[in-house]
Structure 1
Amino acid sequence: MFNRTAHLSRTTRRSVALVTGVALTLALAACSSDSSDSTDADTAATVENGDLQDVTIGVHSGWDEGIAVSYLFKSILEDEGYTVEATEADAGIVYTGLTGGDFDVNFDMWLPNTHKDYLDEYGDDMEQLGAWYTEAKLTIAVNEDAPITSLDELAANADAFDNRLVGIEAGAGLTGITEDVAIPAYGLEDMDFVVSSTPAMLAELKGATDAGENVAVTLWAPHWAYDAFPIRDLEDPEGAMGEAEEINSVGRTGFAEDYPTLASWIGAFTLTDEQLFSLENIMFNENEGNDNEGSVTEWLDANPTFVDDLKAAADAS
């Protein structure tokens, strides 16, 4: 966790009158600790655009899209002269840290459902900075050249998929929704629902697509598998897998006041499926999560206009 003194009173900034050296000494001697904190806030370092220089990013552990976007912004901001620190923690710790001033911003609040409880509890002490991805969802995916396009065709064509639907961990929400909602909704009870692990599911997906075989797996978007393998989602006419969610950026109270330029960039920030999936693929598949900063550099090299486009979109909004 971080605890920058500047957080304590940066929203109550005021000008300080010029005084003589003797008067200043007497004033400092009489100051309370609160006054010292206020002076520290008033003299906090800024970058050329006027934003505070120090930025702390709270990152949800294990949430690939949030890790990817956090390191993308870390790279962009450091090139602009900001000092950035990104720390991974459980979602509850991140949201508690935002409200307590330990973090400035988080890029991974899923709404309206996944993080609803956190929004209900902490929303009054956060600033909503904008949604950057609008199609976050649970899915059942198949190889791109599979003979079906919809989940309501899967039962009748189960033999084409070796009568198997490959899942992930037993305790995952995706597994529960597939087992309790999607399977009965589409009459898939006679298929073998293989509850395994995420790595095992991805290994089956890779093996089948490499071999040109049909495969059906439980998946979610965003995920790097969409960039790494020739796959597509099956349509879900019954809505059994749930509605798509938005991924939002949120800041601590006073964020937009302390970082007006950065707030405008975040408000204008979006990623297409192609952009997000390719960034995740480089970071978590090709580089196996071992070089997040290098992965972002590689992705920015492949997307050389991204930062300029983002700034232009912010200026136009």
Structure 2
Amino acid sequence: MNPAPRTVVSPPRQVVRAVLTEALESKMGGEVVVKSATVSGRIFVVEHKVAWTVLTGPGARSFSTALIDAKLVSREDVEQVMAECRKSGGNFCETLVSWGLVPRDTLRDLLCHHVRAQLDTLFGLTEAQALFVPQPRSYSSQLTFELAELTADTMQPQPAVTQSQSPSGPPVLLEGEVMANVKQALEEAMKIEGAFAVCLADANSGMTLGSVGGNATFNVEAAAAGNTEVMRAKLKTMKALGIKDRIEDMLITLGEQYHIIRPLAAREGLFLYIALHRANSNLAMARFRMADVEKTIQL
């Protein structure tokens, strides 16, 4: 008697894990860029270890938010540390330790849990695209992790934290609220006279974190991705010239359009990108309004 046929369910292909494994084997290091219909992410690899992760999507939180939620630092502390890192080029976590804000062991444990949670989300994506971008990268911190540390079953679960009021600032935004905030800011930017497309993009990966407007002849996401090279080139030139200053905005003037690139002062690597019809826009007012829009974005 033949046994009854069984339905075999194949496990989802571990695309992100496979690409990350490739990246960890690379001598050069670099970053793994992940994109799906709901979640985008980047995994930074240095010297065969995971150094940092950035995740955008439902349920994701930034590490600074995790620190504030755990009541280890205040929002004001985070802003001061970020300002110092932008000025000196230092590492965010190492600066927290050197300033005596968070003990190294405590910080490492929280960072390990944070990165692990983000990797769990990325590994669970069944229809994601992942790409390893080899890139020589210096990293001024020893707070990096073997993949085994981030996937070990022996890690103790992190106690849940609830949304809390920062002692020196407004309530911490969770990811859903962050995305709503970004959308609201972009919609406000679209009210600028002459605007027909705007987005918030990541200069390192070229990914768009939110967009409004555009049409069949102008893909704002593609335009933003292409202009990441403009951002990188300008930053590289400033470094070569020894210019220690920040870019307020960059203007590209076309025959019929203005394109304005405005990096976010509060979040290195992110920038606002807006396209305007030149015939019916006021450039000075547009730049002024973009500065106001930037201030409303909370990440």
TM-score, structure 2 normalization: 0.23
Structure having the higher helix fraction is 1
Q: Which structure would you say has the larger RCO, counting Cα contacts within 8 Å and 6 or more residues apart?
A: 1
TM-score, structure 1 normalization: 0.22
Which entry has the higher C-alpha Rg, 1 or 2?
1
